[in-house]
Structure 1
Amino acid sequence: MAEYLVLIYQDERLGIDTLNDPSVTRAHEGFMAGNQQALRGGNPLEYSHTATSIRPDGAGGFVVTDGPFAETKEQLGGYYLIEAADLDEAIARAQQVPMAQGGVEVRPIHTHQR
Protein backbone atom coordinates (compact mmCIF):
# COMPACT_ATOMS: atom_id res chain seq x y z
CA MET A 1 0.00 0.00 0.00
CA ALA A 2 1.12 3.55 -0.69
CA GLU A 3 0.09 6.91 0.72
CA TYR A 4 -1.29 9.77 -1.36
CA LEU A 5 -2.03 13.36 -0.49
CA VAL A 6 -5.28 14.63 -1.97
CA LEU A 7 -5.06 18.43 -2.16
CA ILE A 8 -8.40 20.23 -2.35
CA TYR A 9 -8.46 23.50 -4.32
CA GLN A 10 -11.19 26.12 -4.39
CA ASP A 11 -11.71 29.62 -5.73
CA GLU A 12 -12.17 31.73 -2.61
CA ARG A 13 -13.30 34.70 -4.72
CA LEU A 14 -16.62 32.93 -5.36
CA GLY A 15 -17.56 33.64 -1.75
CA ILE A 16 -18.48 30.07 -0.81
CA ASP A 17 -17.84 29.74 2.94
CA THR A 18 -16.63 26.14 2.91
CA LEU A 19 -15.46 26.35 6.53
CA ASN A 20 -18.86 27.29 7.94
CA ASP A 21 -21.39 25.83 5.50
CA PRO A 22 -23.25 22.91 7.14
CA SER A 23 -23.93 21.23 3.78
CA VAL A 24 -20.20 21.22 2.98
CA THR A 25 -19.45 19.80 6.43
CA ARG A 26 -22.03 17.02 5.95
CA ALA A 27 -20.63 16.20 2.50
CA HIS A 28 -17.12 15.80 3.91
CA GLU A 29 -18.39 13.78 6.86
CA GLY A 30 -20.05 11.45 4.33
CA PHE A 31 -16.80 11.16 2.35
CA MET A 32 -14.86 10.36 5.53
CA ALA A 33 -17.40 7.76 6.67
CA GLY A 34 -17.35 6.04 3.29
CA ASN A 35 -13.55 6.02 3.08
CA GLN A 36 -12.50 5.65 6.72
CA GLN A 37 -10.50 2.46 6.04
CA ALA A 38 -8.24 4.41 3.66
CA LEU A 39 -8.06 7.76 5.50
CA ARG A 40 -4.91 8.52 7.45
CA GLY A 41 -5.68 12.19 8.09
CA GLY A 42 -7.13 15.34 6.66
CA ASN A 43 -8.31 18.80 7.54
CA PRO A 44 -9.66 21.97 6.02
CA LEU A 45 -7.25 24.90 5.92
CA GLU A 46 -8.04 28.44 6.96
CA TYR A 47 -8.48 30.85 4.05
CA SER A 48 -5.42 31.86 2.07
CA HIS A 49 -5.31 35.42 3.46
CA THR A 50 -4.24 33.85 6.79
CA ALA A 51 -1.14 32.26 5.22
CA THR A 52 2.39 33.38 5.95
CA SER A 53 5.10 32.66 3.36
CA ILE A 54 8.77 32.23 4.21
CA ARG A 55 11.52 32.34 1.60
CA PRO A 56 15.30 32.40 1.88
CA ASP A 57 16.69 35.86 1.10
CA GLY A 58 19.92 34.55 -0.47
CA ALA A 59 22.07 36.03 2.30
CA GLY A 60 21.43 33.41 4.97
CA GLY A 61 18.25 34.98 6.28
CA PHE A 62 14.60 34.82 5.41
CA VAL A 63 11.86 37.04 4.07
CA VAL A 64 8.53 36.54 5.83
CA THR A 65 5.44 37.91 4.08
CA ASP A 66 1.72 37.78 4.68
CA GLY A 67 -0.26 35.77 2.16
CA PRO A 68 0.08 32.53 0.25
CA PHE A 69 3.25 31.39 -1.47
CA ALA A 70 1.75 32.08 -4.90
CA GLU A 71 -1.32 33.96 -6.01
CA THR A 72 -3.51 31.68 -8.09
CA LYS A 73 -7.11 31.48 -9.25
CA GLU A 74 -7.73 28.52 -6.94
CA GLN A 75 -6.32 28.24 -3.44
CA LEU A 76 -5.43 25.21 -1.38
CA GLY A 77 -8.38 24.74 0.94
CA GLY A 78 -7.73 21.40 2.59
CA TYR A 79 -6.30 17.93 2.24
CA TYR A 80 -6.80 14.25 2.89
CA LEU A 81 -4.02 11.74 3.43
CA ILE A 82 -5.15 8.38 2.08
CA GLU A 83 -3.70 4.93 1.71
CA ALA A 84 -4.35 3.09 -1.55
CA ALA A 85 -3.02 0.06 -3.39
CA ASP A 86 -2.08 2.20 -6.41
CA LEU A 87 -2.70 5.50 -8.17
CA ASP A 88 -5.89 4.22 -9.79
CA GLU A 89 -7.43 3.49 -6.38
CA ALA A 90 -6.23 6.86 -5.06
CA ILE A 91 -7.86 8.62 -8.02
CA ALA A 92 -11.11 6.70 -7.49
CA ARG A 93 -11.20 7.83 -3.86
CA ALA A 94 -10.22 11.42 -4.76
CA GLN A 95 -13.12 11.61 -7.21
CA GLN A 96 -15.43 11.16 -4.21
CA VAL A 97 -14.11 14.25 -2.39
CA PRO A 98 -16.90 16.85 -2.19
CA MET A 99 -16.15 19.86 -4.37
CA ALA A 100 -18.77 22.35 -5.46
CA GLN A 101 -16.14 24.07 -7.57
CA GLY A 102 -12.39 23.87 -7.90
CA GLY A 103 -10.85 20.42 -7.93
CA VAL A 104 -8.40 18.06 -6.31
CA GLU A 105 -4.82 17.05 -6.98
CA VAL A 106 -3.48 13.60 -6.07
CA ARG A 107 0.20 13.38 -5.13
CA PRO A 108 2.05 10.23 -4.07
CA ILE A 109 3.93 10.49 -0.78
CA HIS A 110 7.62 9.78 -1.30
CA THR A 111 8.98 7.47 1.35
CA HIS A 112 12.61 6.53 1.80
CA GLN A 113 13.19 2.81 1.84
CA ARG A 114 15.53 1.85 4.66
Structure 2
Amino acid sequence: MRYLLAVQNDESVPLPTGADWDASLSRVEAVNEEMRAEGVWVFAGGLRSSESSTVVRVQNGTTTMTDGPFAETKEQLGGFWVIEVADLDAALAWAEKCAAACWGPIEVRPFDELSQD
Protein backbone atom coordinates (compact mmCIF):
# COMPACT_ATOMS: atom_id res chain seq x y z
CA MET A 1 0.00 0.00 0.00
CA ARG A 2 1.19 3.52 -0.73
CA TYR A 3 1.51 6.16 1.97
CA LEU A 4 2.27 9.85 1.94
CA LEU A 5 4.72 10.93 4.63
CA ALA A 6 4.17 14.69 4.77
CA VAL A 7 6.72 16.98 6.43
CA GLN A 8 4.95 19.69 8.41
CA ASN A 9 7.05 22.86 8.70
CA ASP A 10 6.40 25.75 11.06
CA GLU A 11 7.22 28.62 8.71
CA SER A 12 7.56 31.05 11.63
CA VAL A 13 10.75 29.20 12.64
CA PRO A 14 13.79 29.99 10.46
CA LEU A 15 15.35 27.12 8.56
CA PRO A 16 18.77 26.00 9.75
CA THR A 17 21.81 27.42 8.01
CA GLY A 18 25.45 26.48 7.49
CA ALA A 19 26.60 23.31 9.19
CA ASP A 20 23.15 22.72 10.74
CA TRP A 21 21.54 22.79 7.27
CA ASP A 22 24.21 20.45 5.88
CA ALA A 23 23.65 18.03 8.77
CA SER A 24 19.89 18.10 8.14
CA LEU A 25 20.38 17.31 4.46
CA SER A 26 22.72 14.46 5.36
CA ARG A 27 20.18 12.94 7.77
CA VAL A 28 17.41 13.14 5.17
CA GLU A 29 19.61 11.66 2.44
CA ALA A 30 20.53 8.77 4.75
CA VAL A 31 16.81 7.97 5.18
CA ASN A 32 16.31 8.31 1.41
CA GLU A 33 19.13 5.84 0.74
CA GLU A 34 17.75 3.41 3.32
CA MET A 35 14.30 3.59 1.68
CA ARG A 36 15.82 2.93 -1.75
CA ALA A 37 17.83 0.00 -0.40
CA GLU A 38 14.73 -1.49 1.24
CA GLY A 39 12.68 -1.04 -1.94
CA VAL A 40 9.96 1.15 -0.37
CA TRP A 41 10.93 4.43 -2.09
CA VAL A 42 8.46 5.67 -4.71
CA PHE A 43 9.08 9.42 -4.81
CA ALA A 44 10.05 12.32 -2.57
CA GLY A 45 10.44 16.05 -2.82
CA GLY A 46 10.96 19.22 -0.90
CA LEU A 47 8.77 22.26 -1.44
CA ARG A 48 9.49 25.96 -1.44
CA SER A 49 7.74 28.07 1.20
CA SER A 50 3.97 28.48 1.06
CA GLU A 51 4.48 32.12 0.02
CA SER A 52 5.49 30.79 -3.42
CA SER A 53 2.18 28.97 -3.91
CA THR A 54 -0.80 29.92 -6.04
CA VAL A 55 -4.32 28.73 -5.27
CA VAL A 56 -6.55 28.08 -8.30
CA ARG A 57 -10.32 27.94 -7.77
CA VAL A 58 -13.14 27.35 -10.23
CA GLN A 59 -16.59 28.41 -9.02
CA ASN A 60 -19.63 28.73 -11.25
CA GLY A 61 -17.43 28.52 -14.34
CA THR A 62 -15.14 31.35 -13.22
CA THR A 63 -11.47 30.73 -12.45
CA THR A 64 -9.67 32.79 -9.84
CA MET A 65 -6.02 32.61 -8.85
CA THR A 66 -4.63 34.00 -5.62
CA ASP A 67 -1.14 34.13 -4.18
CA GLY A 68 -0.20 32.34 -1.01
CA PRO A 69 -1.25 29.17 0.73
CA PHE A 70 -4.76 27.73 0.67
CA ALA A 71 -4.97 27.71 4.47
CA GLU A 72 -3.75 30.43 6.80
CA THR A 73 -1.82 28.42 9.36
CA LYS A 74 1.67 28.48 10.79
CA GLU A 75 2.35 24.86 9.74
CA GLN A 76 2.58 24.19 6.03
CA LEU A 77 3.54 21.23 3.87
CA GLY A 78 7.30 21.47 3.47
CA GLY A 79 8.08 18.25 1.66
CA PHE A 80 7.03 14.63 1.39
CA TRP A 81 7.87 11.04 0.71
CA VAL A 82 5.66 8.56 -1.11
CA ILE A 83 6.45 5.02 -0.01
CA GLU A 84 5.05 1.58 -0.74
CA VAL A 85 4.93 -0.72 2.27
CA ALA A 86 2.86 -3.63 3.55
CA ASP A 87 0.80 -1.78 6.15
CA LEU A 88 0.35 1.22 8.44
CA ASP A 89 2.81 -0.13 11.01
CA ALA A 90 5.57 -0.17 8.38
CA ALA A 91 4.63 3.34 7.24
CA LEU A 92 4.75 4.59 10.84
CA ALA A 93 8.21 3.06 11.33
CA TRP A 94 9.47 4.98 8.29
CA ALA A 95 7.72 8.15 9.50
CA GLU A 96 9.62 7.88 12.78
CA LYS A 97 12.91 7.83 10.87
CA CYS A 98 11.79 10.76 8.73
CA ALA A 99 10.73 12.80 11.76
CA ALA A 100 14.10 12.19 13.39
CA ALA A 101 15.90 13.24 10.19
CA CYS A 102 13.80 16.38 9.69
CA TRP A 103 13.45 17.28 13.37
CA GLY A 104 9.78 17.88 12.79
CA PRO A 105 6.37 16.23 12.60
CA ILE A 106 5.44 13.85 9.81
CA GLU A 107 1.81 13.28 8.86
CA VAL A 108 1.14 9.76 7.57
CA ARG A 109 -1.75 9.28 5.15
CA PRO A 110 -2.66 6.26 3.05
CA PHE A 111 -3.50 6.75 -0.59
CA ASP A 112 -7.04 5.69 -1.50
CA GLU A 113 -7.69 2.59 -3.54
CA LEU A 114 -8.15 4.67 -6.72
CA SER A 115 -4.52 5.83 -6.45
CA GLN A 116 -2.97 2.38 -6.27
CA ASP A 117 -1.32 0.71 -9.26
Hey, what's the Cα distance between the residues in 1 that align with 2:103 and 2:7? 11
Gaps of 5+ in 2: none
- DSSP 3-state at the match of 2:24: helix
Q: Post-superposition shift, 1:111?
A: 2.7
Structure 1 counterpart of 2:57, which letter? Answer: R
Offset from partner CA, 1:57-111 (integer Å, 9 cap, x none): x32111100001111121100000001100111011111002223x111111113
Q: Which residue of 2 aligns with 1:111?
A: 113
Hey, what's the Cα distance between the residues in 2 that align with 1:21 and 1:68? 25
Residues 66/3 of structure 1: CA separation in 2 closer, same or farther (3 Å cut): same
Q: Which has the higher helix share?
A: 2
Structure 2 counterpart of 1:52, which letter? Answer: T
Q: Which residue of 2 aligns with 1:87?
A: 88
Q: Post-superposition shift, 1:12?
A: 1.4
Runs of 4+ in 1 over 3 A off after TM superposition: none
Cα RMSD after superposing both structures? 2.0
Structure 1 counterpart of 2:43, which letter? Answer: G
Gaps of 5+ in 1: none
Percentage of identical aligned residues? 35
How is 1:12-91 mapped onto 2 (pairs within 5 angstroms)?
12-17=11-16, 21-36=21-36, 37-56=39-58, 58-91=59-92
Residue 4 (structure 2) pairs with residue 5 (structure 1): yes
Hey, what's the Cα distance between the residues in 2 that align with 1:21 and 1:12? 16
Q: TM-score, normalised by structure 2?
A: 0.85
Hey, what's the Cα distance between the residues in 2 that align with 1:88 and 1:51? 33
Hey, what's the Cα distance between the residues in 1 that align with 2:79 and 2:29? 14
The count of residues paired between Structure 1 and Structure 2 equals: 110
Q: Is the 8 A contact 2:8 2:79 kept in 1?
A: yes
Hey, what's the Cα distance between the residues in 2 that align with 1:41 and 1:17? 24
Q: Post-superposition shift, 1:17?
A: 4.5
